[in-house]
Amino acid sequence: MINDGVQGHLNQSTALCEQLCKELSQKYELISIHDDLPSLNSEDKNYFIGAGNKVHKKLLEIKKRYSDAFVIAILRPSFFMSKFDLILAPNHDFIFKKFQKLHYL
């Protein structure tokens, strides 16, 4: 989970990470946007989750470096939406955008 220090972003990311980890029997770690890009264990599927534009930028850096990483943006990114594997955002964030990876839950 990538974090920018904003408590609301952290709360949203933590809620999703905890539920996913429970479902997948995995653990998660908190990574600051100021940290170097993490090294990946190639044996496991690596998921990266985060909320907020600064975090979204870091997620795309990770995706560029590790093409097999699965990046999940919480809240609507303001750039390169098609580069994310999944975006979880409120319906009203997409009122003027057509986005093929958008799924309503």
- Structural domain including 58 reads 2-35+43-94
Q: With respect to residue 70, please indicate whether it lies within any of the assigned structural domains.
A: yes
pLDDT the model gives residue 27: 87
Q: What CA–CA distance (Å, rounded) separates 14 from 28? A: 9
* Residue 100 domain flag: no
Checking if the pLDDT of 102 tops 60, the result is no
Is residue 100 over pLDDT 70?
A: no
| Position 104 in a domain | no
Q: Which pLDDT tens digit goes with each residue over 5-55?
A: 999 999 999 999 999 999 988 888 899 999 888 777 666 678 899 999 999
Q: Give the count of domains, the chain.
A: 1
Q: How far apart are CA 75 and CA 53, in angstroms?
A: 9
Both structure tokens of 96? 């003027």
Section 66-70 average pLDDT: 88
Which of the four pLDDT bands, split at 50, 70 and 90, describes residue 98?
A: low
Q: What are the backbone angles phi and psi of residue 54, rounded to the nearest 5°?
A: -65, -40
Is residue 103 one of the residues assigned to a domain?
A: no
Residue 101 belongs to some domain of the structure:
no
Distance CA 44, CA 32 (A): 21
Residue 81 in any domain: the answer is yes
Residue 59 has pLDDT above 80, yes or no: yes
Assess if residue 99 is contained within a domain: no
pLDDT value, residue 2: 93
CB count within 10 Å of CB 55 equals 28
Residue 90 lies inside a defined structural domain of this protein: yes
The pTM of this model reads 0.80
Give me the amino acid identity at 105. L
